[in-house]
Amino acid sequence: MKTIYTENAPQAIGPYSQAVAVGGLVFTSGQIAINPKSGQVEAATIEEQTHQVCQNLAAVLTAAGSSLGRVVKTVCFLQDMNDFAAFNEVYGSYFTGKPARSCVAVKALPKGVLVEVEAIAQTEEGGTAQ
């Protein structure tokens, strides 16, 4: 098992890794809309936060030798299911390969954000994504 770390994504705010890679797969921790340069949540709307979350995921996956195009499954957490359509619009522009996905509403998320997304992806050693 390999622990993944990059300065291009937010630092863990607890006792966990940004991601771990094992057996040709990378498992990311949930990413929220923290700007990795400032360490703060700067985005206010669901659209802005979703863009930041996807950029953070892309950075972690790149550090692991993967990419958004190699994602096979995501789990998405929304603070308000009324944001589902707006979230989908932005999410779909990043995950064009349409990985399997779960999306649930939760009571609250860290730092009061509106969205959190975690992913499972193939690494380069995991073979060719279809």
Which residue numbers are catalytic? 103
Average pLDDT over residues 4-17: 93
Is pTM beyond 0.85? Reply is yes
Tell me the longest C-alpha to C-alpha distance in the chain. Answer: 39
β-pairing verdict for 100-105 and 115-122? unpaired
Domain 2-126 grouped into CATH 3.30.1330.40: yes
Lowest mean pLDDT among 14-18, 80-84, 116-120, 126-130: 126-130
What's the pLDDT score for residue 12? 86
